Amino acid sequence: MSNPLVLALATQRLTQLVVEDDITRPLRIAVSKWAKGHGEFSFRERVDFALNCGACASVYAGAAVLLADRLPAGRFLLRVMAVSGAALAAKAAIEKLER
């Protein structure tokens, strides 16, 4: 089992990747179009909401991280995600200090 800090950073980064990053914007747009016109609380609307809500997506990201932690290749990927998350957090902190 990985270090809890690695798991937390990987979960944060995966959540950010899904909810905020430009690379996943086409997916979010496609899901929003797929969900458009369906009633509030429909399955499609809930999927769309989960992809655009950081708190919601983090639950699913956390589950994916815990599952990935059970596989050697998954643990490597989690470390990569954790390092990426830490680098982005350090960059944000430096930018804040420079202001």
Concatenated DSSP letters for the chain? ---HHHHHHHHHHHHHHHHT-GGGHHHHHHHHHHHTTSPTT-HHHHHHHHHH-HHHHHHHHHHHHHHHTTSHHHHHHHHHHHHHHHHHHHHHHHHHHH-
pLDDT at site 73? 94
Q: What integer is the mean pLDDT of 18-46?
A: 93
**pTM as predicted:** 0.87
pLDDT digits (tens, 9 = 90+) for 62-96: 999 999 999 999 999 999 999 999 999 999 999 99
Residue 7 has pLDDT above 80, yes or no: yes
What are the structural domain ranges in the chain?
4-98
